[in-house]
Amino acid sequence: MKSPALLLTLLLIPSLCFALNPPPDEPGDPGTPSVCSAPTLQPGQHTRTLTVDGQRRSYILHVPAGYSGERKVPLLLDFHALHTSADYQLNNSGTRAVADSQNFLVAYPQGIDNAWNLGPCCTESRSVNDVGFARQLVAQLTADACVDEQRVYATGYSNGGGMAYLLACQAADLFAAVAPAAFDMIAEVPCSPSRPVSVFAHRGRLDLIVPYRGGPSTPPTGYPLEPITFLGAEGSFQRWTSLNNCQAAAGSSGNCQSARNCADGVETVLCTARAGTHSPWDAQQSWNYLKNHRLP
């Protein structure tokens, strides 16, 4: 018969092993961040640069006060509208305040000509590599900060919303979800994402710059560009319903409609402000959607 002391030791061994070798974080639980070792960035705004195809590019990085560099946090890229800037987006989009309260990093890229190259528009040069810029930006921050690579997102307003759509089409391997506002898919731009990707779109029904029903439009660039053809808000929603292989009919809740049973558990959502014009999104509402999605 085993002694009481020996029995106590045997009972304690599993607990000691668990303490010394705790189980890894559950990959599907966004509330259980992974530990990492990265240089600590100081809270506040930092203007950073990198080179893309020989061209010097810049962005503003906002680091919330709660960032320690020890736990992985999400990263959001927030793209400005045509004729505005990264600084304007930082001060007006609302994502900075949400990042402070939810503890994630936000990068505000600066576009060439204060615009983004979506193919047929909107930079003066058609050779600007903005998708490459976004990819290198994420790579730089992944190396320099404690970023959760499964939770990288893109959002943007107007031309910046078009950039979020473009990243969903061409960089779905990098971005878990996107939230474009005041923009739609462009008929002339091919879209073949490498995987299903969650899309949360916000549109104003009375938008006269990017017509809600779609059709031809001439971007107010200040330099000559051919008219582009928008698919419209509903057309863009249907396009992503198809791209994401959603099987069930769309359902509605309030001013939002969502496609159901999409591949890989992604979502396709369109929210419409009935009296809205060419309006930006509510940053908190967008984040509430984005934060629940991660790369597989």
Count other C-beta atoms under 10 Å from residue 192's C-beta. Answer: 8
CA distance to 28, 29, 80, 117, 219, per residue, from 150 (Å): 10, 11, 24, 26, 34
In three-state secondary structure terms, 286 is: helix
pLDDT at 152: 98
Bridge-based pairing state of the strands 256-260 and 268-273: antiparallel
Q: What are phi and psi of 221, to 5 degrees?
A: -85, -30
Question: What confidence score (pLDDT) does residue 38 get?
Answer: 62
Q: How far is CA 30 from CA 72, 95, 290, in A?
A: 10, 19, 12
- Quick count: other Cβ atoms within 10 Å of Cβ 150? 16
70-81 per-position pLDDT tens digit: 999 999 999 999
Find the helix packing angle between 283-290 and 95-102, rounded to 10°: 50
> If you search the block for the tokens 């992974």, which residue do you land on?
34
Q: What is the pLDDT of residue 286?
A: 96
Element (H, E) at 269: strand 268-273
| CA 211 from centre of chain | 23
Considering Cα of 64, then 85, then 288, then 290, what sign does the dihedral take?
negative
Is the pLDDT reported for residue 9 higher than 50?
A: no
pLDDT in tens, 242-275: 999 998 777 888 899 999 899 999 999 999 999 9
- Span 100-129, average pLDDT: 97
Share of the chain above pLDDT 70, in %: 88
More confident residue, 110 or 34: 110
Would you state the pLDDT for residue 58? 98
Nearest in space to 115 (alpha carbons), one of 154, 160, 77: 160
- Number of alpha carbons in the 13 Å side-chain half-sphere of residue 10: 6
* Separation CA 96–CA 77 (nearest Å): 11
Q: HSE on the CB side for 191, CA within 13 Å?
A: 27
Q: Which of 156, 168, 151, 13 is nearest to 72 (CA)?
A: 151
Compute the distance between CA of residue 219 and CA of residue 222 in angstroms, rounded to an integer. Answer: 9
pTM for the whole thing? 0.88
* 3-class SS of residue 257: strand
| Helix, strand or coil, per DSSP, at residue 92 | helix
Q: How far apart are CA 75 and CA 27, in angstroms?
A: 17
Q: How many residues does the chain have?
A: 296
pLDDT tens column, 198-215: 999 999 999 999 999 999
Tens digit of pLDDT for each residue in 27-65?
334 454 577 776 679 999 999 999 999 999 999 999 999
pLDDT surpasses 80 at 23: no
DSSP-assigned states of every residue in 213-224: T-EEE----SS-
Maximum Cα–Cα distance across the chain: 93
**Residue range 215-227: average pLDDT?**
91
